[in-house]
Amino acid sequence: MDTKKLEILDSTLRDGAQSHSISFSVDDKIKMVRMLDEFGVQYIEAGNPASNPKDEAFFTRMLGTELKNAKLTAFGSTCRKGVEASKDDGLNRLLSAQTECVCIFGKAWDLHVTKILETTLEENLRMIYDTVAFLRENGRRVFFDAEHFFDGMKNNRDYALRAICTAAKAGAEVIVLCDTNGGSFPNEIAEYVETVKEALPQGIRLGIHCHDDCGLAVANTLAAVEAGAVHIQGTFIGMGERCGNTNLTTVIGNLQLKRGYELVPEMSVGKMTEAAYYTAEVCNMKLASSMPYVGSRAFSHKGGMHADGVIKLRESFEHISPDSVGNRRSFVLSELTGRTAMLEKLKGFGIILEKGSEETLRVINKVKEIESEGYVFEGADASFELMALRELGKLKAYFKVVDYKVITSQADEENAPASAMIKVRVGDRREITADEGKGPVNAIDKALRKALEVFYPVIGDMSLVDFKVRVVDNSTSTSAVTRVLIESTDGHDMWTTVGASEDIIFASMAALTDSIEYMLYKKKVYNYM
């Protein structure tokens, strides 16, 4: 294989599923397979049919399904000690998945053979050989994951090499070197990959599978590729057991955009950010904003000089164009932000102002005024856009909160709910309603949306995703200004609003009303006011 051409095996649905708090349904797995196939992943390691009924059901549902780019790959282990491969239940259930490719893991560290498997070194080699040979005899393409390979090389080099050579001799087409404990360094990875290249027969492809326990999974993967590995395993946004696996979005960006490698088949890198957010949504997790290439802060600029520089010349503070991975540039509004950056941010909202105009000065002065009250628009773009529109007379309020009351239960009552009553005005009409929730903010959120749904039913599609509270100045103790950030979604888009006050309920109400108004404005809902 041309060393400039690389193949990707995505293990989000197998190794990623071992991540804390991740649980895929069968439907979730099918959604992810569709997305990964469309994106251009070559192999999708979708689970172990012998390990649980859910994975078995998934492979049954996928029988006969045609994919455009990817090949489904079932995962399993070598046969059990003392058991012939042909009589091993796990291997026969692996065959029942009817995938063209299978990925088998076996022990490459002598410590694991004697202490974990509690068998002999020779029996482990027999298990590896018989398993790979059995699968090959049954028409499967075999990828062999040499588990704990790098630890094995450090402790018993000869045995680790015997393990992978045994798999190769039995017919494995890819030998995957696994840094299972995630404790290796790039120089070690490169050295051992070079050693393996010399030990294996010609025509065997080398793979790399790294974990991130030292924060080096991506670096180790890149080192392996530079040393000759052509098969890359990882998970799409780095999820996995303990600290996670190699983050494929970062690896793909680095290899294709920065190093010129050709990924086979061609990856839709321009849609990588969209694919990353889709993965996070299916996994019911929040994508890390600082994630390279695809995070919301990957091309975010706060410092005035940085913002001014990137506006004049992108290359001054961005290593690639955000568009190349489907991301976008953003400017963080804070005391460090210059006028140029603020105007550029407004331009992103479709608000075009001249640098020295009266409107620009009005917006800047308003920002200074409310920041002195404890507001900060860093990370709260929705509230900033609404503030600018109001100041420029371009937004009419959708509703007015006339009055509200919050009642909390006795503190010694376990899981005691809070109640909220609210009165809103929309045009000439008023609506009074009440609800209860898990705490005062949840109660008032539910009551407010319940009252407004009478006028704007689309609010029913909206939900609160995250709620953060920060004391801005604790020098005044319990009367300190509290800043509340609320992240909301309609199931498709997400936005963040902010409120600040000495009263946490008032600050929360400000952020909540902004959140609802932002949704109504963006959806161009008819305004009854």
Helix/strand/coil (H/E/C) assignment for every residue in 229-269 = CCEEEEECCCCCCCCCECEHHHHHHHHHHHCCCEEECCCCH
Q: What is the pLDDT of residues 191-239, one digit of tens each?
A: 999 999 999 999 999 999 999 999 999 999 999 999 999 999 999 999 9
pLDDT-above-90 percentage for the chain: 70
Kindly tell me if the per-residue pLDDT of 1 is higher than 50.
no
What does pTM read for this prediction?
0.76
Q: Which residues make Cβ contacts (< 8 Å) with residue 1, sequence separation at least 6?
A: 205, 230
Q: CA torsion angle for 226, 125, 88, 143 (degrees, to 10)?
A: 10
Kind plus residue range of the DSSP H or E element containing 84 = none
Amino acid at 114: T
Helix-strand-coil split of the chain, %, nearest 5: 45, 20, 35
Between CA 495 and CA 344 the distance in angstroms is 19
Average pLDDT over residues 150-158: 98
Q: Could you give the angle at which helices 339-348 and 304-312 cross, rounded to 10 degrees? A: 60
Which contacts of 359-367 are long-range, i.e. CB under 8 A and separated by 24 or more positions?
A: 359/392, 362/391, 362/392, 363/387, 363/388, 363/391, 363/392, 364/339, 366/391, 367/333, 367/342
pLDDT at 335 over 80: no
| Percent residues over pLDDT 70 in the chain | 93
Higher per-residue confidence, 509 vs 371: 509
The C-alpha angle with vertex 13 and arms to 9 and 17, in degrees rounded to 5, equals 125
Both structure tokens of 126: 């027999």
C-beta atoms surrounding 250 within 10 Å: 22
Q: Mean pLDDT across the chain, nearest whole number?
A: 90
Q: Which residues contact 121 (CB under 8 A, 6 or more apart)?
A: 110, 113, 114, 159
> Span 255-274, mean pLDDT?
91
- How far is it, in rounded angstroms, from Cα 513 to Cα 126? 67
Q: Residue 369: pLDDT above 60?
A: yes
Integer Cα distance of 217 and 311 in angstroms: 33
In order of their start, the domains of the chain are 5-282 (3.20.20.70), 300-372 (no CATH), 400-522 (3.30.160.270)
Q: Which two structure tokens, joined as six digits, stand for 205?
A: 């492809």
Q: What is the β-pairing status of strands 429-437 and 418-426?
A: antiparallel
In our burial notation (b when 16+ CB lie closer than 10 A, e otherwise), range 339-376 reads: bbbbbbbbeeeebebeeeeebbeebeeebeebeeebbb
Cis-peptide into 322, omega within 30 deg: no
Give the pLDDT of residue 46.
Answer: 96
Provide the token pair at 215: 């924060």
User: 72-110: per-residue pLDDT in tens?
Assistant: 999 999 999 999 999 999 999 999 999 999 999 999 999
Q: How far is CA 381 from CA 9, 178, 237, 345, 524, in A?
A: 37, 42, 25, 9, 18
pLDDT category at 499 given cuts 50, 70, 90 is very high
Paired tokens of 114: 């004697």
Residue entry with tokens 């929730």: 437
DSSP assignment letter at 198: H
Q: Looking at per-residue confidence, does 474 or 421 come out higher?
A: 421
DSSP string, 128-190: HHHHHHHHHHTT-EEEEEEETHHHHHHH-HHHHHHHHHHHHHHT-SEEEEEETT----HHHHH
Which positions ≥6 away from 412 have C-beta within 8 Å?
none
Question: Considering only 137-146, 168-177, 203-212, 461-470, which range has the smallest mean pLDDT?
Answer: 461-470
Q: How many CB atoms lie within 10 A of CB 214?
A: 16
CB 330, CB 358: distance < 8 Å:
no
- Predicted confidence at residue 438, as pLDDT, reads 85
Among 213-222, 228-237, 381-390, 407-416, the least confident range: 407-416
Question: What is the C-alpha separation between 69 and 254, in angstroms, rounded?
Answer: 21
